[in-house]
Amino acid sequence: MDYQAVLEEVADRARPLVRQGRVADYIPALECVSPDRFGIALTDLNGETYGVGDWEVPFSVQSISKAFSLALVLAQEDQSIWERVGREPSGTAFNSLVQLEWEQGIPRNPFLNSGALVVTDRLQTLTGDASTALLDFLREESGNPELSFDQAVAGSEAEHGDRNAALAHFMASFGNLENPVPSVIEHYFWQCSIEMSCRDLATAGGFLARHGLRADGTRLLHARDAKRMNAVMLTCGTYDAAGEFAYRVGLPAKSGVGGGIVAVVPGRCTLCVWSPGLDARGNSVAGAAALDHFTTLTGWSVF
Ligand code: DON
């Protein structure tokens, strides 16, 4: 497969959609990003990375960080996180509160904000500094020691963080947080503010295509956990659009309101696409279209 040629064709087809959708504005610092951006990268099983467009421009990873914090927890301890967070799609928005009361403070899945707060809480217990542990992990896995937090985004998110604080307090009232709410939400905001490019994210997510192995052959996750992560990404990684995304693209994926989407073709490659214009459910319009074109052109969906 000529990856570079495929990515160029995908980019040509997706570019007309680039200005569609709306750049996230509920975190004011995200609003400043140009809606014209588009990049796509692919990392193969050997760790070779190809890319087109703005594939080396850093952007705010936002909810894509949730996949990596889950991987880091699963890499550090066996299955105990699953006692505190479920594995079912929610059908509700990523920041919804409504199911938490019915379900006794146990979030439906680790990719909702509530579920990710539980994962960050666990990482805080395991490492003593969840956001720094995640940044170090991403530097290591991406091979880019320059990765950093975006202080303006983290601050902006904290200033407008009432919804996440409410989710955390509500879960704490059910005994589903181990650390104080202010510390959990602070680490969560820092983790979402990490800036990475498509190149960094595709490289860092390579283990998901390699059944848990890094490009150098060392093991990050048990193959069973890589399979499980891909399953939860397929069913829950794009929130209440997960059914539509599976229908169109047919790949495990994790999106973020910065406009990035990481997608995995197990046994073949990991992709990351970025374009800031979002649809009503918080997924990149041109990004989803690009992945749709990718699986159509290559025939590489999981179905
Ligand atoms: O907590 C928030 O609302 C954001 N930091 C992350 C949300 C997000 O990226 C959801 N993605 N589609």
Which ligand 1 atom lies nearest to the CA of residue 164? Answer: 1
- pLDDT at res. 44: 98
Burial 58-85 (b: 16+ CB within 10 A, else e): bbbbbbbbbbbbbbbbbeeeeeebeebb
- Ligand 1 centre to CA of 69 (Å) is 14
- pLDDT at res. 78: 85
Q: Is the ipTM of this complex over 0.90?
A: yes
- pLDDT at res. 126: 98
CATH of segment(s) 3-298: 3.40.710.10
Is position 57 annotated in a ligand binding site?
A: no
Q: Is 53 left (phi over 0), alpha (psi -120 to 50) or beta?
A: left
Q: What predicted TM-score, i.e. pTM, was given to this entire model?
A: 0.97
For the chain, give every domain's residue range. Answer: 3-298
- Ligand 1 centre to CA of 255 (Å) is 9
Rounded average pLDDT per 10-residue block, the chain, 303 residues:
97 96 89 95 98 98 98 95 96 91 96 98 98 98 98 95 97 98 98 98 98 98 98 95 96 97 98 97 96 98 96
Cα 283 to chain centroid distance, Å, stands at 11
